[in-house]
Structure 1
Amino acid sequence: MDKNKIAAQMYSVRKELEQDPENTFRSLKEIGFEAVQLDGMRGHQATEIKELVSKYDFKIAGMHIKHERFFSDLDGIISESLLFNCKTIYDKYIDDKEQHTEGYIKTKKQLITTQATLGKIGFRIGLHCPEYDFNNTVEGRTILDYITDPVFGTGIYAEPDTYWISVAGKDPLEEFEKFSGRAPIVHLKDYIKGFSPDDMDSNLTELGNGDVDFKSIIEWGEKSGVEYYCIEQDYSKIGIFNSLAKSFDHLMSL
């Protein structure tokens, strides 16, 4: 596995970033990460985070942007993206109040419009989904399928997630295969079968400790245009940097 293609999702270290940005980036570098995926500034100025990204020589493996900003702050999104020299941006999570058919249709329309507009200057707009977007449907399509279905040749990129697909009771590889060439960045976290879907304390674990077949996911990704495999750990029982190190080492072993 090429270590340059492994990224850390900064949501994993959201508390650490808020408290001590420099130590956070230093610790990720010490683990071996060469890339990070941004998930907000956690109370800091974007310029401060940019300085640390540059100091520790990280590549930016996409940026997660709050849902409402796609409707109210496109100029701000553009400025932030250009600051970090990253034009691959994701709607990180469709707001709860928009989790219904009308909201999904509205979201798709806005993301398609944004892609059609910003795509002219090299942007890629995508969507990241929690578990219910792999079960809920609009017009007979699951949410990620529906929103990423092209409209007159313009499509939204997918950011499928092994854990949330598993929580939804589906096979990660089968879901990932839908998005060949349309998922430049994918999220990897492991899942232990046999627990309640909402029991994250028990069913979420480091890569290699659970039931997800990451070897098959990587084999698919290497022939399907994946640029970054992004490790996300929502929380840890052993210390978040220990968790990220275990997951990083597992990917490197494949």
Structure 2
Amino acid sequence: MSKLAVQLYTVREEAGKDFIGTLEKIAALGYEGVEFAGFFDIPANVLKNQLDRLGLTPVGSHTSIEQLVDHLDEVITYNKTIGNSNIVCPWSEVKDEESLELLVAQLKKVVQRLQDEDMILLYHNHDHEFKKIGENYLLDLLFEKCEGLYAEVDTYWVHHAGVDVIEYLMKYKDRVKLIHLKDGIGNELKAIGEGTAPVKQVMELMQKWPIEWVIVENDEPSPTGLKDIERSMICIKNQF
């Protein structure tokens, strides 16, 4: 069974006020890992010590394309210090062949540099990458053209795009390294178990796959990020 982590964007409001205190609460809820979406000006060695104290594993870091292109050395140094080897491009505005070629050119350079450091680059999808160019999704073309780029599949956005999540995961079985587990109804995001996304099927698949981390995320948590991930943890413990 995969272990559970939290994408810290879910608790960005709390983390902005008390980053370390928020990590403490996440650990207390039973999550074993965290995926970063910024570091709130905490020095890397300080964060490493706090993660060790709390028994939290850094499972990835969402890093903007601008940071990857313009500040990759700093990104590598910080993440190596905290013990994270998974760098994730969380978003791009890819929409057509021209923007795809630009993105591929940018990411290829990052992939190579990270490989030299025994790190990997992953791409986190939304739903707009499922626009088709000819017979292929933009996301498929990205993986086809960018060798060495791995997938962090956001299962909710695959579902929201009208694509079968399990089929898509199986298609990229060898390239999927991280999973985002997210729920919702239409455009309204929910805690795990409170929406209509195929979270049960995803978790059943994760019991068979050798994927180490499933990452819980909600871009629009209610009433707070911590309350949201608490409900998600209760659901996962009870149902999966």
Mapped to 1, the partners of 2:136 and 2:38 lie a distance apart of 30
Distance 1:161 1:31 in 2: 22
Q: Provide closer, same or farther for how the CA distance between residues 235 and 79 of structure 1 changes in structure 2, counting only shifts above 3 A.
A: same
1:121 and 2:117 aligned: yes
Match of 2:156 in 1: 163
Superposition CA RMSD, Å? 2.1
Three-state SS of the structure 2 residue aligned to 1:235 is coil
Report the Cα distance in structure 2 between the residues aligned to 1:169 and 1:102, rounded to whole angstroms: 24
Matched, 1:211 2:215: no
Hey, what's the Cα distance between the residues in 2 that align with 1:139 and 1:44? 46
2:212 aligned with 1:227: yes
In 2, are the aligned partners of 1:127 and 1:144 still within 8 Å (CA)?
no
Give yes or no for contact 1:21–1:49 (8 Å, CA) kept in 2. no
Superposition map of 1:91-106 within 5 A: 91-94=89-92, 96=93, 99-106=95-102
SS in 2 for 1:6: strand
Q: Show the 5 A alignment for 1:40-59.
A: 40-59=38-57
Amino acid corresponding to residue 233 of structure 1 in structure 2? N
In 2, the alpha carbon distance for the partners of 1:71 and 1:116 equals 12
Once the two structures are superposed, the pairs formed by residues 125-204 of structure 1 within 5 Å of their partners are 125-134=121-130, 136-138=131-133, 140-149=135-144, 154-192=147-185, 195=186, 199=187, 203-204=188-189
Q: Secondary structure at the match of 2:87?
A: strand
Per the TM alignment, residue 13 of structure 1 is displaced from its structure 2 partner at its CA by 1.0
- Give the conservation status (yes or no) of the 8 Å contact 1:161–1:188: yes
Cα offsets for 1:172-224 (capped at 9, x unmatched): 222222221211111011122xx4xxx4xxx2111112222323212323434
* TM-score for the superposition, normalised by structure 1: 0.85
Q: Check whether the contact 2:129–2:138 (CA below 8 A) recurs between aligned residues.
A: yes
Name the SS for the 2:158 alignment partner. Answer: helix
* CA shift for structure 1 position 139: 5.7
- Please say if residues 144 and 158 of structure 1, whose CA atoms lie closer than 8 Å, have aligned partners that are also in contact: no
Q: Percent identity?
A: 25
Secondary structure of 1:209 counterpart: coil
Partner residue of 2:58?
60
TM-score, length-scaled by structure 2: 0.90
- In 1: Cα distance, 2:38 partner to 2:5 partner: 16
Cα separation, 1, equivalents of 2:9 and 2:189? 15
1:9 corresponds in structure 2 to 7
Amino acid across the alignment from 1:146: L
> Number of paired residues?
239
Q: 1:77 to 1:140 in 2, by over 3 A?
A: farther
Alignment of 1:17-96 (within 5 A): 17-94=15-92, 96=93
- Unmatched segments (≥5 aa) in structure 2: none
**Any gaps of 5 or more consecutive residues in structure 1?**
none
The answer to whether the 8 A contact 2:95-2:128 is kept is no
Shift of 1:59: 0.5
**Aligned residue type for 2:35:** Q
1:29 is displaced (CA, Å) by 1.0
